[in-house]
């Protein structure tokens, strides 16, 4: 499965920055060893259901260490038997774009 998620503290420092808290969540994902990618809005992780959900839970817990309230947005693509989709899905779209030229 692929899970794209965004975790942020609901309370933040006076500047409104959530960078430190988000970095805590991203560190959990990167330390998991699962294939992952972080963009400006979401982090996507690939793996089996239980391992992905465990990483998401631990990332939420990491943000909860610095905020009494945490926001989580989660979108999942559950397709048993498929791996490598973190990059393969993008490659298929890029190929389709080349064919349009």
pTM tops 0.85 = yes
Q: Compute the half-sphere exposure of residue 52: CA atoms within 13 Å on the CB side of its CA.
A: 19
Q: Is 76 helix (H, G, I), strand (E, B) or coil?
A: strand
Reference 72, options 47, 50, 87, 53; nearest CA is 53
Mean pLDDT of 7-20: 80
State both tokens at 82. 């498929």
pLDDT of 15-70, one tens digit each? Answer: 778 899 999 999 999 999 999 999 999 999 999 999 999 999 999 999 999 988 99
pLDDT at residue 12 is higher than 70: no
**CATH number of the 2-100 domain:** 3.30.70.930
CB 3 within 8 A of CB 43: no
């Amino acid at each position: 499965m692929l899970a794209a998620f965004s975790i942020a503290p609901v309370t933040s420092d006076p500047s409104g920055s959530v960078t430190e808290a988000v970095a805590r969540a991203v560190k959990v994902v990167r330390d998991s060893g699962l294939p992952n990618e972080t963009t400006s809005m979401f982090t996507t992780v690939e793996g089996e259901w239980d391992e992905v959900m465990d990483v998401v839970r631990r990332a939420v817990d990491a943000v909860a260490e610095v905020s009494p309230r945490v926001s989580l947005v989660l979108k999942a693509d559950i397709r048993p038997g498929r791996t490598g989709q973190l990059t393969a899905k993008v490659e298929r779209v890029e190929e389709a774009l080349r064919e349009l030229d």
